[in-house]
């Protein structure tokens, strides 16, 4: 359970769509399900590092059309039943990030998480 202190402490549900922009100005939406099984998509949709890795793979598919495509993502995540919020800045070009490099995160949209009474002990 990545970055979770206790096993059933968090529930994340995400959705994402990649946007590839070519030098001509043409923008193409790419569904990640084109590359992944349902189970892979469900696991990676809330993991920023995996989203970047798939962006690199998507970019390689577009090198024949453009030697320097830009790949951005519309990634939304719902944490513990909260309303969905952006996980990654939609203006960030993910192609130029190295695997493992931190992505640009937008400011939190909701109130801070409250610390459970049992965890303060």
Check residue 97 and give its pLDDT: 82
What is residue 36's predicted lDDT score, i.e. its pLDDT?
A: 93
The answer as to whether 1 is a domain residue is no
* Pairing relationship of beta strands 12-21 and 70-79 according to DSSP bridges: antiparallel
CA distance 18 to 100: 19
Percent of the chain that is helix, strand, coil (3-state, to 5): 25, 20, 50
**Does residue 113 lie in a domain region?**
no
What is the extent of the structural domain holding 92?
A: 12-106
Q: Is residue 37 part of a domain?
A: yes
pLDDT computed for residue 7 by the predictor: 56
Give the model's pLDDT for residue 13. 78
* Residue 119 included in any domain: no
In a domain, 3, yes or no: no
Confidence at residue 61, expressed as pLDDT on a 0 to 100 scale: 94
In this predicted structure, what is the pLDDT of residue 80? 74
State the Cα–Cα distance between residues 69 and 57, nearest whole angstrom.
12
* Residue 94 lies inside a defined structural domain of this protein: yes
Three-class DSSP category at 68:
coil
pLDDT at 106: 60
What's the domain count of the chain? 1
Per-residue pLDDT of the chain (121 residues; tens, 9 = 90+): 565 555 555 677 788 999 999 999 999 999 999 999 988 988 888 888 889 999 999 999 999 889 999 999 999 988 777 788 888 888 889 998 876 666 666 655 666 655 544 454 4
């Amino acid at each position: 359970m990545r970055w979770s202190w206790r096993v059933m402490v968090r529930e994340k549900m995400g959705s994402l769509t990649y946007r590839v922009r070519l030098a001509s100005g043409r923008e193409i939406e790419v569904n990640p399900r084109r590359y992944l099984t349902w189970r892979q998509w469900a696991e990676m949709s809330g993991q920023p590092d995996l989203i970047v890795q798939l962006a690199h793979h998507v970019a390689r598919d577009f090198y024949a059309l453009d030697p320097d495509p830009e790949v951005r993502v519309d990634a939304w995540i719902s944490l513990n039943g909260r309303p969905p919020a952006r996980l990654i800045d939609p203006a960030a070009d993910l192609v130029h990030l190295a695997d493992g490099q931190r992505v640009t995160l937008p400011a939190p949209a909701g109130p801070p998480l409250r610390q459970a009474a049992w965890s303060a002990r």
